[in-house]
Amino acid sequence: MSERQNRERDQDRERIRLLEFQLDYLRAELLHLTHERYRLIYSVSGHIYRFLRPIEAFIADAANAVISRFRPPSPQAAQSTPVPDAPAERSAPLAARRLLVDVTGTIKRDAGTGIQRVVKEVTRGLYSGDSFDISVVAVQCAGGRLLTANSFVAELVGGDALPDSEIAIQAGDRLLMLSDSWNAFDELAPIFEQIRDEGGEIVTCVFDLIPELYPHACHEVTVPRYCAWLRKALLESDSFLAISRTVADELADYVAAQGLPHRPGLKIGWFHCGSDLSLRADAAPRDRIKAAVAGDAPAFLAVGTIEPRKGQRVAIRAFEELWANGRDIRLIVVGRRGWFEEAVVDEILTHGEFGRRLFWFDDVDDDELSFLYDHAAALIFPSYAEGFGLPIVEAARRGRQAICSDIPVFREVGGSGALYFRVNDAKALAETLADFLDGRRAGDPDQVSRVAWRDAARRVVEVIAREEWSRRLP
């Protein structure tokens, strides 16, 4: 068998393993929901709810009828709909003279997730007082007009905010869609035309391709919305800026492999996220946070929203094996509820070790997260799909070891400084943890990416101003 055939066979095996992992996760979620349904049916509340079901069904049907009028077409419907031709090539754009950074999505919807963290920290870095190749202005869209985002910036960096005012498009402007732009392209269409008429360009930040590559890991609403957004963004954007080289390469390869229409000469670049946390000088953790790391038992953090791809169940299984072997260690899960999380949350809350050696905090701020990093033995990151991996670099900046799934983006971010285990393999994680505890394996946090958010902001500007793109598509 040739080397190529061996490689393809190994890739097929890994795909099957991932599908089996996803199936097992969804099966556990389904069993949990089925159990909850039976519990309701045979309880007093269940009998009360039975009379409310027809009313609920009527409301749901009415809501679905309204939503269906505005819902984007499904991927299957999109395949049967003629795809518009890519826009005709225009004359060469002018050199970048000003960068307008759109933060509308975060101003309207700050859910406190990784995307909003990136937007706020990059914006903070852009207004840190450093000088850049071109001038930078944070902007927001309101009523089809582009306005300054002075109040948003003032909340991040302090000081008094001037009233927001309308932005006049200038020759050579670059508009960076830094915030989540899922719903912004239609509203900004007239502004796009103004920018291109003045020799400018549209740049879109892309955080990951997970809804395209791993749809079963996403909420049912996310996938069609993301698919529609990506195809529109490819036609409207002159370039994409990814939060890692891995995502930049994934995007370029995916567009080419799928033959997706895009603007001629589409440019793709990347930057790395920062690792420093914005902390308050007078902050103090709550007692229950301090109690989770009190004592001599080593504590390990698993940071991330509770959702299918984050691997919290992998971590729990690994710790159960280590607990059964007499290891006195703690697992601290830090993250909000996401989606398809009911079974995992129930498993955590009803676990025999919950409150003793298993903890879950869903409302930790940056100061408490920093405290937990400082008192942890290491970070565990068992995710099977990510766009970057902020906890890896945040833990490393606090001098803490990161123990990660062996996926490309973690290799990019963690480098030789992190420890890696086979993705979605609880036994492999348990073995790696045992090796770490016994001193047989150790990484070097100093070798992990140590970019500060000010450096990330500078990189964003330089890629755009200096045309330092890593890939260009025909």
Q: What is the pLDDT of residues 379-436, one digit of tens each?
A: 999 999 999 999 999 999 999 999 999 999 999 999 999 999 999 999 999 999 999 9
**Hey, what amino acid is at 126?**
L
Sheet holding 330-334, edge to edge: 358-361, 330-334, 299-303, 378-381, 401-405, 419-421
Residue 29 has a pLDDT of 74
pLDDT in tens, 204-220: 999 999 999 999 899 88
Q: What is the mean pLDDT of residues 266-290?
A: 92
Sheet holding 471-472, edge to edge: 145-148, 135-142, 98-102, 173-177, 201-206, 239-242, 267-270, 471-472
% pLDDT > 70, the chain:
87
Beta bridge partners of 334: 303, 361
CA dihedral over 287, 290, 292, 296, signed as positive or negative: negative
Residue 214 has a pLDDT of 94
Q: What is the mean pLDDT of residues 360-367?
A: 94
Q: Which of 276, 213, 277 is nearest to 246 (CA)?
A: 213
Q: Is the pLDDT of residue 2 over 70?
A: yes
Residue 58 has a pLDDT of 52
pLDDT in tens, 225-254: 999 999 999 999 999 999 999 999 999 999
Residue 392 has a pLDDT of 97
Residue 60 has a pLDDT of 46
Measured distance CA(466)–CA(470) in Å, rounded: 12
Cβ(254)–Cβ(275) under 8 Å?
A: no
The DSSP code for 308 is G
Helix (H, G, I), strand (E, B) or coil at 378: strand
Alpha-carbon Rg for the chain in angstroms: 24
Beta bridge partners of 99: 136, 174
Helix (H, G, I), strand (E, B) or coil at 74: coil
